[in-house]
Structures are given as structure tokens and as C-alpha cells.
């Protein structure tokens, strides 16, 4: 999910509505993808079939790239005004997307994986790509997942949305109030995308998957948790000893990218040092507070 856009409202004197700028963001990225030979699927937001969740708003552009083509996109996008502001490693606990910003078009979430899909990012992309359709965005034909695949993409996004009202509304439209035929089509795509663990959040059966290495990651995403719990979950979900050690080593580092976005300016070395020593204390207080709340239940 893209970092909340600080420039969501047009600047003084600007007359182009946000949704129009986002349409042009999709068009810009698709033109760049065509130029460098990268496969893209435009997901959620402006790319969404409006009949799925009527009136659903959006504030940025989201695209899912073929994993093998991510590097060429990251090389090409800055040549056309897109600035990388948040890398995959620090984008989320799933490390699934990087955030870029364009002076005219706003924010872009570039996904290298879509959390919850499998069994591998490559297989998941191929499955979605095989039944793609197109939608005109900013005057350009943009590939999008099929109607039913879009429903599952939104539900998997809602699965890590916690108590977010928008996520709850997506679940209401696409699952809770859906008829049996629509649910069957959703379940068919859940099977195709090997998305059973993530989808169990929607059906309330997540705890049946406690033995899955990624269980804690989805539990924290869906129900909340402390920073310490999140990092433990990330280590458990990492595949192989080397990956686990890499994730564990990053847990003690300051997320300079996020700190820069929060402050709205480049941060100094002194601020990074202060954050490095301040984070453990905040994490400990957060953990103690959470344990206290549990004990009162």
C-alpha cells in the first residue's frame, strides 16, 4: 500500500482532479512498460471494474509487474520523472511493493508480488495474466485482471486491512453479501492463486493454519500487533536460514525511508542515531502495553 500522499490535494492553482492525475499515472507507467518490454497488470483503484464495489475511492495508482521485469521498470521509471521514495524491503511486512512519486501524477505502488498469492510470484502473475482483459486509463489500453480475479485481489488486500472501514466494505460487497454463484467464482480464483491462507482471514478460519510459517504474518496484518510481534512473524515467514538472518538483521535498523516521509524532508545523521536508540524503548513500551491489555481481558 502506498504511503499516504502528502500532496493528495492539488497545489494552489492546480485544476486537474486527483482521479484524472491517477489515470494519467497509469497511462504513464503503461507507456514506460511498453517501451522497456515489461508486463504489467493494473490493479485496484482506477483500474477496478466499478460494478464490483460501487463508489470505491482511490488515492494512488497500483500495478503488479511480472517479477522478472521489475528491475527493468525500476531502471526506466526514474528516466521519466518517477522518483523512488520507498523500496520493497521497507514498504511493508510482506516486502511486496515499492512506492514512487511523480510531480504531476502523484504516487505509484509498484508490486513485485501480491501478498497472499502463490505458490510463487511468477506462477501467480502468470495465472492472472492468462485471463487478463484491458481498460482504458489516461487514454491508453492497460491490462487488468479478469472481473472475478479483481474481486479476489481486493479481498486479499482486505485480508491485511485490519479494522479499516474500506476493507470491511470490500468484504461486505464481494463476500458477505455475495450470492452463491459469485462466491463460487471467488473460491475458484482463490484455488487458482493458491491463496487459501490469506483468504482464511476473510472466512474467519485463519487459526486453522497455525502451522503455516506465514500464519503469524497474516495474524498480525489482520488483527494488529506490536513491532516486535511483526518482526518475529517476518522472521518465521522467511524461507531458509540466510533469509531469516537477513530479516532479523534489518529489524534493528532505522527505516530511513519512512522517517524521511514522516518528517517531509531528508533526515540528519543525528536524527537517525536518535531514532536508532529510541525505537527499542518504544517497542518495549508497546509490548508491555499490549500484554497489559491482554491480562485485563
pLDDT tens-digit profile of 104-126? 999 999 999 999 999 999 999 99
Check residue 3 and give its pLDDT.
44
Q: Span 179-187, mean pLDDT?
A: 98
On whether residue 208 sits in a domain, the answer given is no
Check residue 270 and give its pLDDT.
65
On whether residue 83 sits in a domain, the answer given is yes
On whether residue 168 sits in a domain, the answer given is no
pLDDT at 6 over 50: no
DSSP structure class, residue 238: S
Are the C-beta atoms of 83 and 107 separated by less than 8 Å?
no
On whether residue 227 sits in a domain, the answer given is no
- Choose among 137, 134, 112: nearest CA to 125: 112
pLDDT > 90: what percent of the chain?
68
Q: How many CB atoms lie within 10 A of CB 109?
A: 23
Are the C-beta atoms of 216 and 175 separated by less than 8 Å?
no
| Apex 279 CA angle, 276 and 96, nearest 5 | 90
CATH number at residue 61: 3.30.460
Q: Span 21-45, mean pLDDT?
A: 97
| Strand-strand pairing, 97-102 and 40-43 | unpaired
State how far the Cα of 26 lies from the Cα of 46, in Å rounded to an integer: 8
Q: Three-state SS for 55?
A: coil
8, three cell numbers? 493528495
In degrees to the nearest 10, what's the CA dihedral of 265, 109, 154, 228?
-50
pLDDT band of residue 5 (cuts 50, 70, 90) is very low
Count up the domains in the chain and report the number: 1
On whether residue 258 sits in a domain, the answer given is no
On whether residue 216 sits in a domain, the answer given is no
State how far the Cα of 169 lies from the Cα of 190, in Å rounded to an integer: 19
pLDDT at 40 over 90: yes
Q: State the angle between helix axes of 196-203 and 147-159 in degrees (0 to 180), rounded to the nearest 10.
A: 70
- Choose among 85, 92, 129: nearest CA to 221: 92
Check residue 274 and give its pLDDT.
62
Q: C-alpha 274: how far from its chain's center? A: 29
Are the C-beta atoms of 281 and 289 separated by less than 8 Å?
no
On whether residue 85 sits in a domain, the answer given is yes
pLDDT tens-digit profile of 238-276? 888 888 887 777 765 545 555 565 556 676 766 555 654
| Apex 201 CA angle, 286 and 158, nearest 5 | 80
On whether residue 135 sits in a domain, the answer given is yes
Q: Pick the range with the lowest mean pLDDT from 139-143, 146-150, 172-176, 274-278.
A: 274-278
Q: Which domain holds residue 28?
A: 1-145
Amino acid at each position: 500500500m502506498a504511503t499516504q500522499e502528502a500532496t493528495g490535494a492539488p497545489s494552489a492553482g492546480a485544476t486537474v482532479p486527483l482521479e484524472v492525475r491517477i489515470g494519467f499515472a497509469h497511462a504513464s507507467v503503461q507507456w514506460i512498460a511498453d517501451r522497456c518490454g515489461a508486463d504489467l497488470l493494473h490493479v485496484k483503484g482506477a483500474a477496478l471494474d466499478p460494478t464490483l464495489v460501487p463508489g470505491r475511492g482511490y488515492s494512488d495508482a497500483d500495478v503488479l509487474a511480472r517479477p522478472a521485469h521489475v528491475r527493468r521498470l525500476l531502471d526506466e521509471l526514474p528516466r521519466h520523472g518517477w522518483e523512488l521514495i520507498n523500496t520493497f524491503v521497507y514498504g511493508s511486512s510482506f516486502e511486496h511493493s515499492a512506492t514512487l512519486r511523480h510531480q504531476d501524477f502523484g504516487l505509484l505502488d509498484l508490486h513485485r508480488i501480491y501478498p497472499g498469492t502463490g505458490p510463487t510470484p511468477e506462477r501467480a502473475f502468470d495465472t492472472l495474466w492468462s485471463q487478463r482483459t484491458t481498460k482504458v486509463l489516461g487514454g491508453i489500453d492497460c491490462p487488468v485482471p479478469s472481473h472475478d480475479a479483481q474481486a479476489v485481489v481486493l479481498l486479499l488486500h482486505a485480508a491485511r486491512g485490519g479494522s479499516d472501514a474500506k476493507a470491511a466494505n470490500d468484504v461486505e460487497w464481494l463476500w458477505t453479501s455475495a450470492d452463491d454463484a459469485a462466491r463460487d467464482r471467488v473460491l475458484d480464483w482463490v484455488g487458482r492463486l493458491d491463496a487459501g491462507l490469506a483468504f482464511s482471514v476473510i472466512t474467519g478460519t485463519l487459526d486453522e493454519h497455525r502451522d503455516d510459517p506465514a500464519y503469524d504474518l497474516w495474524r498480525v496484518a489482520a488483527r494488529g500487533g506490536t513491532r516486535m510481534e511483526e518482526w518475529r512473524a517476518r522472521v518465521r515467514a522467511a524461507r531458509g536460514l540466510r533469509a531469516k538472518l537477513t530479516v532479523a538483521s534489518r529489524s534493528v535498523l532505522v527505516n530511513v525511508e519512512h522517517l524521511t516521509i514522516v518528517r517531509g524532508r531528508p533526515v540528519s545523521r543525528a536524527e537517525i542515531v536518535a531514532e536508532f536508540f529510541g525505537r527499542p524503548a518504544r517497542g518495549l513500551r508497546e509490548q508491555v502495553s499490549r500484554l497489559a491489555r491482554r491480562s485485563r481481558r
